[in-house]
Amino acid sequence: GDSVTQMEGPVTLSEEAFLTINCTYTATGYPSLFWYVQYPGEGLQLLLKATKADDKGSNKGFEATYRKETTSFHLEKGSVQVSDSAVYFCALSDSGGSNYKLTFGKGTLLTVNP
């Protein structure tokens, strides 16, 4: 079955540091890939997505590139801010009949200190 593996947290960085959160996946079809973010006290929000190989999703300074050869979708940001402190979830929805279903990684807690 489909699965998503992302780096264990927590991750603690200083403001303006470079961020990478690793994500790899296993899927039977040709999945779409997503990063969701959950800010403290708020619901999950879509951060970015990519629907096919070599696509780059980007939003709010975050980027992730769909790498089919390494089955990866690592999240990066060049300079994090305190306001980026949140839990980040990598997710996929597979192609085919159950493409409505999101399969999530376990989440990575990011704390950015001033």
Partner 1 sequence: GAGVSQSPSNKVTEKGKDVELRCDPISGHTALYWYRQSLGQGLEFLIYFQGNSAPDKSGLPSDRFSAERTGGSVSTLTIQRTQQEDSAVYLCASSLDGTNSYEQYFGPGTRLTVT
Which residue reads 């089955």 in tokens? 71
**CB crowding 24-39: b at 16 or more within 10 Å, else e:** bbebeeebbbbbbbbe
Binding status of residue 108 toward partner 1 by CB under 8 A: no
Residue 65 or 104 having the CB closest to partner 1: 104
DSSP tag of 48: E
Asked if 89 and 36 count as a contact pair (C-beta separation under 8 A), the reply is yes
Token couple for 43 = 């619901």
Output the smallest distance, CB 52 to partner 1, in A: 12
**Which of positions 54-93 make contact with partner 1 (CB under 8 A)?**
89, 91, 93
Stretch that binds partner 1, among 11-19, 62-70, 73-81, 100-108 (CB under 8 A): 100-108
Sign (positive or negative) of CA dihedral 22, 24, 30, 31: negative
Binding status of residue 35 toward partner 1 by CB under 8 A: no
Residue 13 or 87 having the CB closest to partner 1: 87
Number of residues that make up the chain: 114
Binding status of residue 3 toward partner 1 by CB under 8 A: no
Residue 8 or 16 having the CB closest to partner 1: 8
Residues that bind partner 1 (CB under 8 A): 32, 36, 42-46, 51, 89, 91, 93, 98-107
